[in-house]
Amino acid sequence: MTAIEMMLRMFRAQVEAINELVGGISAECLNWQPDDGANSINHTVWHLARSADVVANVIMPANSLDNQAWYRSGWVEKTGYDPAGLGYQGWGILTGYTQEQVAGVPLLSADNLRHYFNEVYTALLTGLENSSADIFDQPCTDVGAPMTNYFWYDLTLVDNIRHTGEMLAIKAMWERKNQRETDE
């Protein structure tokens, strides 16, 4: 198994896990926040999609920020939300947002959230599938710091794994909360 095949296998497992999670919970669970400072599952999946959108459609192909699926596929028009200029590097990926900015992120329906998530992960996986064997060793300097392409793929994958555990914990907390309310 090559390094690319291994990375693709791990990304595909994550995409499957996120789709299963989002497709298997109610809208209430999807949008529930354990406390005022916590993100919902909806916001967390949106963050994962936004991050992958920037990596797949801006960083790897060295395109401008308007090449993101969020813009090309009309999500700004559908939601009325333009994340440009917000958070880390102005990428609008939730990282670096204030709680007020997080509150401004639209809560997508499960179907729309999965559609956007799958659209950007299809682009990410297709780009990786069509890459040369030395893709991970190639420098990626278009983002202001000399890092390899591996850094961006690895960061995206690790973020997915970490947040999947977080979302499963939020789901379990929501289920326990609802069970307690039902029992009372």
Q: Is the pLDDT of residue 160 over 80?
A: yes
SS3 34: coil
Residue 25 to residue 145: CA distance in whole angstroms: 39
Residue 127 to residue 115: CA distance in whole angstroms: 18
Taking only the tens place, the pLDDT of each residue in 130-146 is 999 898 998 886 676 67
Q: Is the pLDDT of residue 180 over 80?
A: yes
Residue 145: which residues within 8 A CB-CB, separation 6 or more? none
| Predicted TM-score (pTM) of this structure | 0.95
Phi and psi based region of residue 148 (left: phi greater than 0; alpha: psi -120 to 50; beta: remaining)? beta
Taking only the tens place, the pLDDT of each residue in 72-104 is 999 999 999 999 999 998 999 999 999 999 999
Residue 128 to residue 140: CA distance in whole angstroms: 14
Q: What pLDDT does 140 receive?
A: 81
pLDDT > 70 fraction of the chain, expressed in percent and rounded = 97
- Report the CATH fold assignment for 3-183: Four Helix Bundle (Hemerythrin (Met), subunit A) (1.20.120)
